[in-house]
Amino acid sequence: MASFSYLTTIFPSSFCASLPKPSQTLNSKRRNSHHIVAVSIKASANGDDNDGGNSRRDVLVGLGGTILGATAVSDQFAFAQPPTRAASHGVDVTEVGYLGRGNAAMAAEKKKTLTPLSSFPIVLDKVISTKVARPQKSRSSVEKEGVEEIVVIDGIQLNRASSVKFDVYINDEDETQITPENSEFAGSFLNVPHSQKKANTMKTCLRLGITNLLEDLEAEDDEDVVVTLVPRVGQGLVTIGGIKTELLQNV
């Protein structure tokens, strides 16, 4: 079954000409505020999920306010440090073109209200949080180096012609409130309106590396994490099929 492919690139003036190699990426520490985040995103031509295992071929790479999406990448990008918490500094984060780290305060609620996993599929017309079981807790540094923990936003269904953007936050499951202090931005999903001679409905999934992010939250020993989805553009225009966490072998 053929997969559709499209490329969207937004380059700020500070974008570096070359990306670090996987070995450099895995061993890098947070030397500055720009960190590479590698994720996977797939979609099929007929609107069905094309989830043929945890392939690393299809990757989405974000660099601060930069995003590069592709569905045929020759190099295998290693998962790297997620971005740190940062305010939007007056930038309108609802703009489709804005792909920065986001403002964790947008994911904050006075009291944490969890949506049970049994409620999915669900239309993303408001901020939703759900508790997700982790595949393994308290992994050693050697285990982390060889295997990345990822969060999978599954069954993302929308119209190809719709402008849709939502942010993904990971929250410490022990906390009773979702606040900027216990929330970490994991990444964003963005659909730029486009038309093809295919079905208008697109079904895809988003995978985000969260190993280092969980270290920042001091949540490595937790059996569960809370995943929060914050709609930015196109509220009510996208359906989420489910959310889960997995372990993915680094290659």
Q: Which residues of 128-158 are buried (b: 16+ CB within 10 A; e: fewer)?
A: bbbbbebeeeebeeeebeebbbbbbbbbbbb
Q: Looking at the domain assignment, is residue 70 inside a domain?
A: yes
Name the amino acid, one letter, at 4: F
Q: Looking at the domain assignment, is residue 2 inside a domain?
A: no
Residue that wins the pLDDT comparison between 37 and 169:
169
Q: Looking at the domain assignment, is residue 51 inside a domain?
A: yes
Residue 47: domain span = 8-249
Q: How many domains does the chain have?
A: 1
Q: Looking at the domain assignment, is residue 122 inside a domain?
A: yes
Give the best-scoring range by mean pLDDT among 2-6, 45-49, 134-138.
134-138
CA 250 to mean position of chain CA atoms: 17
Q: Looking at the domain assignment, is residue 139 inside a domain?
A: yes
Q: Looking at the domain assignment, is residue 115 inside a domain?
A: yes
Q: Looking at the domain assignment, is residue 191 inside a domain?
A: yes
Asked if 188 contacts 162 with a C-beta cutoff of 8 angstroms, the reply is no
Distance between CA atoms of residues 156 and 163, nearest Å: 14
Distance between CA atoms of residues 231 and 251, nearest Å: 32
Asked if 211 contacts 141 with a C-beta cutoff of 8 angstroms, the reply is no
Distance between CA atoms of residues 75 and 98, nearest Å: 26
pLDDT in tens, 157-207: 999 999 999 999 998 666 666 666 667 899 999 999 877 666 789 999 999
